[in-house]
Amino acid sequence: MLNFAYQEHIRTYYSDTRNLHFNLPNLTDNQHVDVCVIGAGFLGLSTALELAEKGKNVIVIEGARVGYGASGRSGGQAINGFEEGIHEYIDQVGFENARKLWDMSLEAIEIIDQRVQKYGIQCDWKKGYATLALNERRMADLVAIAKASQEVFGYQHMQLWDKPQLQQHLGSEIYVGGLYDSQSGHLHPLNYCLGLAQACLSLGVKIYEHTPALDLNPQGNMVHIHTPEATIQAKNVVLATNAFIDSPLNAKIGFKLARKILPVESFIIATEPLDQKLADSVINNGMSVCDNNILLDYYRLSADNRLLFGSDSSSNVDMVAKMRRNMFEVFPQLEHVKIDYGWGGPIDMTLNAAPHFGRVQPNIYFAHGFSGHGVALTGLAGRIISEAIEGNDERLRIFEALKVPTIFGGKWIKQMALKIGVNYYRFLDKYR
C-alpha cells in the first residue's frame, strides 16, 4: 500500500486554521466516468473544476485527504513566469510560443483571481510579491529579468527597488535590492484547496478521500483504475499525483514520469502572531518574498500576522532550530519571538526547472515539475488539460515541446543526485 495513503493532513499552521471541515467518503462501488482525476491537490481539483464547468462527468480519487500533498502545506506564493529565464524559452520554442508561455503564466494568476471571486473562496488571497537579491551579482539577474519582461513582452507591473526603496517596505539589512511585482501574490493554500474542492462538489464532481489508485490498465478506448475496493472505467485519466508519483502506479505508467522529478524537501516555520508594530517592522505592505538564490528563503505574513518562513530542508537536523537561526539572520528584531509550527514537504523540481506537462498515451494526461511555481501554474495546467480532453490540445502542445531532462538510475541514484545537487546549489549560491 502507498505509504501516504489513508493519512490525515499533517499538522501545520494551515491545518489548524482551515475554514472548511468536510470528510469525504472512500470509494466502494465501481464507476463509469468521462474523466478520472487521481490526486486532490491544486492540479487535480483545478482540472476537475474546469471539466465540471463544461458539463463533464468527473470523479476525483485521493489516496489521503484533499490538500494532503504539497498544495495544502506550501508557502502559498503564487508567482507569475517560470523558473527558467525568458530567453531560454525563446531559444527552445521560438519567440511566438515563448510569448504564449509568458501570457499563460499571467493567466495562471488571473485564474486564482477569478476562482476566488466566482466561488467565494476564503483563502486570504493578497497581491504583491518581491524577489530579493543578496549581492550585486544577483541584483544584476533581477535587472535582466525586469528588462526582459518589460522590453520583450511589454509587462508593466514590475518595479526595480534599490536598497533604500526596498527598506521602505521590508525591515532587513541583508539585501541589496529587489524586483517588486504587483500582480503575483499569496494565499492560505489549504483553504484555497478546500475551496476548490467545495466548488467541484457544488458542480457535481464526486471526490473520494482515502482512495489510492493502485493500478491503471488501458483497455481499448478506456482506462481501468483499480482502487482497494472498486474499479473505475474512465474515457480519460489525469495523473495529478505530483512528487508522490513514486508510488505503485510507477511500475506501469508512472515510471517515465518519476524520472523527470527530483523532489527537493522544503521546510516552513510559523511564528506566533506578531503585534502590529513588530509585523510592520518585518513587512509593511502585505507582499510575499523570495530571495533569488537557487536554495532560497521565502516568506510572508499570514492573515493573523505570523511570519511564515520557508527554506530548503536537510535530514538529520533539528529543522525548527535551523530555520529559526535563518530567520534571525534576516530579521534580528524577531529574536524573542516564539515558533508555533514547523512542517515540511517535497517540492516537485525538474532538473532544468521547466514544467513537465503532457500525455503518457492519448487519454492519460499529466502535469508536474512546477518547480516552485505550482500554486499558480497548477490552475493553468488544469485548464489546458481540460481543453485537450475537450479536443483542443494547441496549448498543451506548446508545453510538450519544452525539454525536460531525464534523471537516469533508480531511487538510490536519485537520492545521491539530490544530495550532490543540494550541495552543488549551496556552492553556487555562495560563490556565484
Distance CA 270, CA 299 (A): 10
Spell out, one character per residue from 322 to 341, where the chain touches ligand FAD: x when CB under 6 A holds, - when not.
--------------------
Please tell me whether residue 293 binds ligand FAD under the rule CB under 6 A: no
Question: Which C-beta is closer to ligand FAD: that of 263 or that of 273?
Answer: 263
Question: Which C-beta is closer to ligand FAD: that of 74 or that of 97?
Answer: 74
One of 80, 247, 271, 363 touching ligand FAD (CB under 6 A):
247
Please tell me whether residue 4 binds ligand FAD under the rule CB under 6 A: yes
Please tell me whether residue 244 binds ligand FAD under the rule CB under 6 A: yes
Question: Which C-beta is closer to ligand FAD: that of 98 or that of 112?
Answer: 112
Q: Specify the stretch interacting with ligand FAD by CB under 6 A; choose among 130-138, 276-284, 319-327, 373-381.
A: 373-381
One of 236, 271, 378, 386 touching ligand FAD (CB under 6 A):
378
Q: How far is the CB of 299 from ligand FAD (least distance, A)?
A: 10
Q: Please write down the HEC assignment for all residues of the chain.
A: CCCCCCCCCCCCHHHHCCCCCCCCCCCCCCEEEEEEEECCCHHHHHHHHHHHHCCCCEEEECCCCCCCCHHHHCCCEECCCCCCCHHHHHHHHCHHHHHHHHHHHHHHHHHHHHHHHHCCCCCCCEEEEEEEECCHHHHHHHHHHHHHHHHHHCCCCEEEEEHHHHHCCECCCCCCEEEEEEEEEECCHHHHHHHHHHHHHHCCCEEECCCCCCEEEEECCEEEEECCCCEEEEEEEEECCHHHHCCHHHHCCCHHHHCCCCCEEEEEEEECCCCHHHHHHHECCCCEEEECCCCCCEEEECCCCCEEEEEECCCCCCHHHHHHHHHHHHCHHHCCCCEEEEEEEEECCCCCCCCEEEEEECCEEEEECCCCCHHHHHHHHHHHHHHHHCCCCHHHHHHHCCCCCCCCCCHHHHHHHHHHHHHHHHHHHHHC
Q: How far is the CB of 151 from ligand FAD (least distance, A)?
A: 26
Question: Which C-beta is closer to ligand FAD: that of 306 or that of 368?
Answer: 368
For 306, list phi and psi in degrees, rounded to 5.
Answer: -90, 150
Question: Which C-beta is closer to ligand FAD: that of 90 or that of 193?
Answer: 193
Grid coordinates belonging to 350:
525538474
Q: Specify the stretch interacting with ligand FAD by CB under 6 A; choose among 62-70, 110-118, 199-207, 275-283.
A: 62-70
**Nearest residue relative to ligand FAD (C-beta):** 374
Q: How far is the CB of 162 from ligand FAD (least distance, A)?
A: 25
Spell out, one character per residue from 182 to 221, where the chain touches ligand FAD: x when CB under 6 A holds, - when not.
------------------------------xx--------
Return the residues of window 253-292 that contact ligand FAD according to CB under 6 A: 266, 268
One of 64, 112, 142, 166 touching ligand FAD (CB under 6 A):
64
Question: Which C-beta is closer to ligand FAD: that of 167 or that of 303?
Answer: 303
One of 36, 38, 133, 262 touching ligand FAD (CB under 6 A):
38
Residues that bind ligand FAD (CB under 6 A): 2, 4, 38-44, 61-64, 68-71, 73-77, 79, 212-213, 240-242, 244, 247, 249, 266, 268, 298, 310, 344-348, 368, 370, 372-376, 378
